[in-house]
Structures are given as C-alpha cells and as structure tokens.
Amino acid sequence: MAQQGGTTCIDGAVIAVSGALDVWVEDPAPECAGRDIGFKSSTDAYRANDIYFWTNSMTKLQELAVPGSSDRSQILIVGAVEGTPIAGETPYSCTRGTPNYNLAAQLRTNDRDVVATAKSAIPPFSGMGHLILSLSAKIPYRPETTSISIWVRSDIEPPVTTNGCGSTVPCGDGKLGFVKMGDDPESTGR
C-alpha cells in the first residue's frame, strides 16, 4: 500500500506498510501452462504508443480469456489502471478549480457481470495528474467463467487516457489477471 500527494497541492510522502508478498507459481507441465494463472497488460493490446481514450460511460479497456478447470473452486481477479488527463489541458490545478471529478473502473466476468468497482478523484496538480485505480475480487470459480475484463469511465474533460509514451502523450497502462485456486486456503495455485 502506498500513497502520495493530493492534499491541497502539497506533496505527500510515500508510505509503505509492511506486509507479506504472495507469489503464485504455476505447474510447469505443458498441460498446465496458462490454465490457472493469466495476465495481460493494455500495452500488449494497444502497443506502447497507442492511446486508449476513456469516455463518460463504462467501456471495456481489455479482456482476458479464462481456460476451464475441473478442480478449482476459487478465482482471484486483479486489475489496475492508470488514468491521465492529456498534458496541458487539465480541468483543475493547484491554483484553480477543485477535484470534484471522478474516474471509475470495474472488474467483470462474462457470467457474473460486475465483481469489483473503484472510483476516485484525480488529486489537484500543477502539471500532469495521474490516478491509479486498483481492484480485486476473490469469488467462487465456476466453469461458466470463461473471461474477465476491466472497464473504465471518466467524468472529466479533457480526455483521460491510458497507454502511450512520448513528449506530449501520457504514459500508464492497465493490468488484468487471475489466479485460480483449489479448496485449500494454502493452495500454491498448482
């Protein structure tokens, strides 16, 4: 967990809270590869310099197929996306406006619809602002779950973007992944 800035245009401190790191390792056998762990970045889908423009309604940023399993009972779905207003066209800053605009993201499955939602305001900024929305959901796995997706929405003008890197183009991407597990809470994902 870390957070920085965003309070009345005063730089904050990055605070890291001690904790544990979960590491999921998939069985290396060829018949197991890609069955229980999946991951996708929007830079894979849109290439590094292509820009995804958020709209004022929920739109799908990316989707990831979930291969079927007969011996798994839970699925952990994780996602994170960075939204950045186009540089030089910010709707508010440290000297004008207030951060009453929001970005939102959702994790969805093909068979359950929305399983997690995150919504937040971009903190006031002097130059280019960014907001990372992180989401996760641990739900019962069922064979009908064949895909997961991450959706985004922006309530602000100028356009909010994800992806792209260049002198006038914001950087940042969206990540989407899953880990399927058995009944054992200490399951290693194998």
- Domains of the chain by residue range: 37-181
Provide the pLDDT for residue 177: 95
- CATH for 37-181, options being 2.60.120, 1.10.1060, 3.40.50, 1.10.3470: 2.60.120
Helices marked H in the chain — which ranges? Answer: 42-46
Provide the pLDDT for residue 23: 83
- pTM summary value: 0.80
Q: 168 pLDDT exceeds 50? A: yes
Nearest to 83 by CA among 101, 109, 110: 101
Q: 89 pLDDT exceeds 80? A: no
Q: 94 pLDDT exceeds 70? A: no
CA distance 104 to 65: 23
Structure tokens at 19: 């904790």
pLDDT range class, residue 188, cuts 50, 70, 90: very low
Q: What is the dihedral of CA 22, 151, 146, 37, to 10 degrees?
A: -20
Digit-coded pLDDT (tens) for 22-76: 888 887 888 888 889 999 988 777 765 678 889 999 999 999 999 998 889 999 9
